[in-house]
Chain A
């Protein structure tokens, strides 16, 4: 039932520390790019970052920049610029907003981090198509624009089990990157260093998983909307001690919340799953809307996508290949259904929200009847919201709000 309540978001104290380590990360990248002290690799967010780090590259993630453009609501200033040069409004709006911003020579980094004047110029561009083909096309534009080498891993799609054959293939593709990366970095590949980075990444991802699993508690201590911000270090700083230290701090804070019975949402009545991309430009609005409805959105495929259980420093190539291939987005519908069923059951969820993101078909999992199959198997309702990760031309506040409120009214009447 609609009611107007004070819906303030509870601040996670650790966030201050996160802002500092993220600032340090961007300043270090900027310094490296200016001074040439380290080579810079641009890498897709679920790409072979650990290999690049082991070779001494500083790694920049364009998807993180895309999310910043969305969250700061600047994306729609830039998407039309990319549309105008021929990139369709129907393709990834991370791509179009990021390329549009580059063409205009603007970035939210300059406002967030005084002294930074632009993106760190890449020495190499490395992709993994496990997320989608768009990431390859995205980096491809920069390769042409900046005359920088591009290389990457082409993954399998819609697979059920991750077979040894697939792992061997992907591991082989990762190995094949090494000679050229050695040449660009000026460093020899060092297996022990690679193992060290894998161990650090493994520890980071393990802690991130523990952070997300604090939401098994009732009430859940952290919302999906908080988690999309808190995952920053898991994306851009995995492979470092810094990220590990951060997640230890965050985990301790969330465990305290759990022990004290403090939830992200007071009077948590309903617990929901968010499937698909965040609507970056509406994180706060949506967070407050759900708080006002006493509803906690506490589990998601998106935030889980940076949990890499398979990482094994003793077998770094194969385990990285497996970890980056067994993520949700690569898998077939049967796997996706089982995966969500398991989470709904473990987290005690009352419903699922699917975000049909106009420009992100690969991460819009409502399009092949998954909601309907889950309603049938779980006997809980689902709701699909139309929107987009960055392009707010595709999102209607009023439609989304009415749909969400009607969904909660439906849960109330059950």
Chain B
């Protein structure tokens, strides 16, 4: 049996996903990328292989993506995360849509047309604002666990704005809010609102919106807040953090299909 593997070596986490010939997900794994991309890819791949009885490595096609996409010697090909996210979301939502991917260190907005082709994309600029790194910094500043941010945001009683698009300035704004006596849950909600504002500034976000990436995977409240902000339904794929890895695995599947055609 042939396996189709996608490995997304992101700035924060590395994700691997295995498909069979029918494009069914057989396994997946997520690990921190750390400083050794190759090791992270090996570990994520190993975890993804665990549910599969056969030796996947003996018969597979591997596509890598993400920041470390060119660091993996055994990859058969590499694609950018822009293309992989677009293909990954199109697999679940095969109609025109706009992908919003919020990752550890960047955010992307990608426009996908009816055929699945990309027509346009934008990545956030140089600052961490609007990314997972921003949330980590804000959690640190508030001295709360990152894992608790979602629950805290749900407890908020009011919407406050964190306006700055500089992470350092945003941290200063938080200090101001603390001095003003604003509760931690309200500030956390404000932090999520800030992430949403940074994305809205990138693109008009027309049509259907598909939200993916690690941030929405860990903080589902973000999707709800997006819906409120945009006033329409937001679609989230089943494994939002693995969208890039899924797209990469689908490219593996396509590459083999092209070879066999």
Contact = CB atoms under 8 A, between A and B. Distances in A.
Nearest to A3: B77
Interface stretch (B112-120, B130-138, B148-156, B175-183): B112-120
A267 interface: no
Interface residues of B, number: 20
B82 interface: yes
Q: How big is chain A's contact interface, by range?
A: 20 to 34
A239 B191 CA distance: 60
A245 interface: no
B77 A403 contact: no
Contacts of A2: 69-70, 77-80
A398 interface: yes
B126 interface: yes
B83 interface: yes
B67 interface: yes
B121 A406 contact: yes
Contacts of B119: 381, 410
A1 to B, nearest CB: 6
B77 A1 contact: yes
Given A4-B70, A396-B126, A399-B126, A406 B120 contact: no
A402 interface: yes
Interface string A380-414: 01001010000000101011001101100110011
**Which of A398, A403, A413 has the most CB atoms of chain B within a 10 A radius of its CB?**
A413
Contact of A394 (B67, B69, B80, B126): B126
Given A1-B77, A3-B77, A402 B82 contact: yes
Q: Decide if the interface of chain B is mainly helix, strand, loop or mixed.
A: mixed
Most buried by B among A384, A394, A398, A406: A406
B118 A413 contact: yes
Given A4-B70, A396-B126, A399-B126, A414 B117 contact: yes
Interface in A1-32: 1-4
B123 interface: yes
B117 A386 contact: no
A409 B121 CA distance: 12
B125 interface: yes
A402 B126 contact: no
A236 B126 CA distance: 35
A409 B79 contact: yes
Contacts of A396: 126
Nearest to A387: B126
B81 interface: yes
Nearest to A383: B121
Contacts of A399: 106, 123, 126
A386 B126 CA distance: 8
Interface in B44-77: 67, 69-70, 77
Given A386-B126, A396-B126, A399-B123, A406 B80 contact: yes
A175 B194 CA distance: 56
Contacts of B106: 399
A409 B119 CA distance: 11
26 contacts: A1-B77, A1-B78, A2-B69, A2-B77, A2-B78, A2-B80, A4-B70, A381-B120, A384-B122, A386-B125, A394-B126, A399-B126, A402-B80, A402-B82, A405-B80, A406-B80, A406-B83, A406-B121, A409-B79, A409-B80, A409-B82, A409-B118, A410-B83, A410-B117, A410-B119, A410-B121
Interface of B: 67, 69-70, 77-83, 106, 117-123, 125-126
Given A384-B122, A409-B79, A410-B121, 4 more contacts: A2-B77, A406-B81, A409-B80, A409-B118
